[in-house]
Chain A
């Protein structure tokens, strides 16, 4: 009975212990389960944040969302993101949940280790604070909200080159943070750091792009001004240079009149002179003075034609272009018709492939085609029948014309200068002032295009020029 009683008592105690143990382990289970649930929730939040960041958008709303998400997930009173100033002496409150709106973007904290936020910058590990008010590591007096913050965790938001700043959470009462809480905060900080780096790169790119754009604009404006100046310059000198020419030529003419009078009197005067003086006077009046006047006159005429050429070029550059739809096949055919006599004489075979329609200035197109085709005919080789081919290729915005001949060709050394004013290449057996291709280039450029030449001496030349398919659109774009 005694024994039984003792046994039973022990048995009972054992059972009680087991019940207590079971109860304890059930509580532990529940606690572990809660912990697991919490961790799963935090991980879900991290995943959500990751997706949110990938979705992009403005940076500031993202920071606000992060502080709200962290506050809700960790159930804290305050969450703040502080950005390190480029001078690295201050942390500025960039976003905050639980903070007065007036402080956001305004409030700053010294970025040195005397404050817990500053200290965080210098630490690679999260800083955990049980009670900020009594923590011996920091002197928070005079700092932001120092009287309201009790427990907290702060982590560095690191960047590739330098830290973006600090992310921290706080409570207004004492609170213990779990390892999971700290991992969570660190994970958010990592995502934030990567995003900030990405944004920094984007901003730098954007800035570089803007600067480039600005420089292009400035250069374009400079070029336009220089072009304008050049055109005005050509215009002015062609006028102002003409005035003295009128005088030179005019007074040379007056000298000529006077010379006529002298000549008329010469026969009366000569018999009164000795032989030597007679010879001198005759030479002067019949040879030297007329020769000098001839040189003056021919030089002035040459100069006048040069001035006129410059003037014409400047006018081509200034003339208002009229956009109209032009069938280039018709236009080139008309040009060929006007050259029919020469084509027949040189027994030239002309191949005109179908050419597209363009919207361009008709007079310019006539001048371009007229010049290039006349050149092709003028510089054929007499030793073989001429062949000229005209064709075109189109792209969405441009049309490229090719005019090929089997003429005498242009030496490689001469090619770069053929479009310059007053420059002529090769044998000078065809009259011309060396302006035709300069006019052509000016007109092609005004149509938003370019011209170049491929040539081989004694084989032939090909002139290739591209212009905008629609001049009206081109002019609109230039505005």
Chain B
């Protein structure tokens, strides 16, 4: 009984951490987590449950998503010039390199203050996800619409003037008549 409790508790802590950090990846094994909850768009959308294991199988090579950070040689020859043998990085989570607040003054000032930074055009976290995910999803014919991955919440419906906040159909027709 006690033994059963411990893994449950651990699972709960892991889940809590995932929720707390939104996009945190918990290394449960050498191969990475089984699933990652992506919650960078929590304001307008529900979280995305990313099946890491399934995507690892499809991608075949960690470098497809993790570039050079997992120790596998990078795929892009441009990256290989510096990173061919740079070895695994301490942090491999997307958000450890791709800033969640890419265009806030804090990040922009950090870039401006250090002229030795090479990657001045590095994507922010949200764009890193979307560029990577949507690029592959399009190539492989996987679902690629906004709401195929994201369930819009009530606040999202409000911003998009959709769902229960959609303008009445007569509004559009009335304007057309003018």
Please indicate whether A and B come from the same complex rather than being unrelated chains. Answer: no
- Chain B residues engaging chain A, CB cutoff 8 angstroms: none
- Chain A residues engaging chain B, CB cutoff 8 angstroms: none
